Chain A
Amino acid sequence: EAGVTQFPSHSVIEKGQTVTLRCDPISGHDNLYWYRRVMGKEIKFLLHFVKESKQDESGMPNNRFLAERTGGTYSTLKVQPAELEDSGVYFCASSQAGGARYHYGYTFGSGTRLTVV
């Protein structure tokens, strides 16, 4: 099966511009997550979709970040306007919905490296 796909793999934009990152999860995975790693720091959770609904968006840093998941399939993460501190690697992950007694784990994409200059 195809894995989690993210694009672009790299993006360099100027401060104040807009960037949209895309994530295609594994087909059939209801759960989709966005994470971010700023250089030198740990990987931090941004938000979690279950199908098309936002289950948990407690990690979104501010209202310059907008995530959507159209029809419960692919997801986009838009940063508008981008600031220097938004630079980092943005990871997407997906997982199956499971019962209370089983944890299927998460499959990660290769990430998008965003550089804001």
Chain B
Amino acid sequence: AQSVTQLDSQVPVFEEAPVELRCNYSSSVSVYLFWYVQYPNQGLQLLLKYLSGSTLVKGINGFEAEFNKSQTSFHLRKPSVHISDTAEYFCAVSLNQGGKLIFGQGTELSVKP
């Protein structure tokens, strides 16, 4: 069975500092990988996705993630965060086009001035 682990439940960081949110997955087959963000009182918004090809994926709002097959990881990074990046971030996988998403537990990013 597939599973997703987000290694940090909460990440506090100061504004303009770099941040990395960690995600590891477990699967015996190839997967599609996603990062979603949920701002306070809003729904889930797609940040980026990895389907195939280049292992470095760029998303919205200056975020990027790198797929590492040997380490089964898909960590999310941003070189300089803003207060407005404060939100909960979810890593997820799906096995196939149109299949269900399996989510990690979520990481709360708190950006302080």
Q: Do A and B come from one complex?
A: yes
In the bound assembly, the distance between CA atoms of A35 and B106 in angstroms comes to: 15
Question: A102-B51, A109-B43, A110-B42 are contacts. A41–B105 as well, Cβ < 8 Å?
Answer: yes
Interface size of B as a range: 20 to 34
Question: Is the Cβ of B46 less than 8 Å from the Cβ of A107?
Answer: yes
Q: How many A-B residue pairs have CB under 8 A?
A: 61
Closest Cβ neighbor of B44 among chain A residues:
A108
- Docked-complex contact B103 and A103, CB < 8 angstroms: no
Chain B residue nearest to A45 in the complex (CB): B100
Within 8 A of A (CB), among B83-113: 90, 92, 94, 97-106
> Are B97 and A106 interface neighbours, CB within 8 A?
no
The residue of chain A having its C-beta at the shortest distance from the C-beta of B100 within the complex is A45
Q: Contact between B104 and A42 (Cβ–Cβ < 8 Å)?
A: yes
Within 8 A of B (CB), among A1-26: 4
Taking CB atoms, residues of chain B closer than 8 Å to A50 are 98
Most buried by B among A33, A42, A104: A42
Name the contact of A91 in the complex, choosing from B44, B49, B104 (C-beta under 8 A).
Answer: B44
CB within 8 Å for A105 and B46 given contacts A42-B103, A44-B103: yes
**Is B63 part of the contact surface with A, judged by Cβ < 8 Å?**
no
Which of A63-71, A80-88, A92-100 lines the interface with chain B? A92-100
Taking the closest CB of chain A, its distance from the CB of B9, in whole angstroms, is 10
12 cross-chain CB contacts under 8 A: A31-B98, A41-B105, A43-B101, A50-B98, A91-B44, A102-B97, A103-B32, A103-B49, A104-B97, A108-B44, A108-B45, A110-B42
For the complex of A and B, the 10 pairs showing the least CB-CB separation, nearest first, are: A110-B43, A108-B44, A43-B103, A45-B100, A103-B97, A42-B105, A108-B43, A42-B103, A98-B97, A103-B32
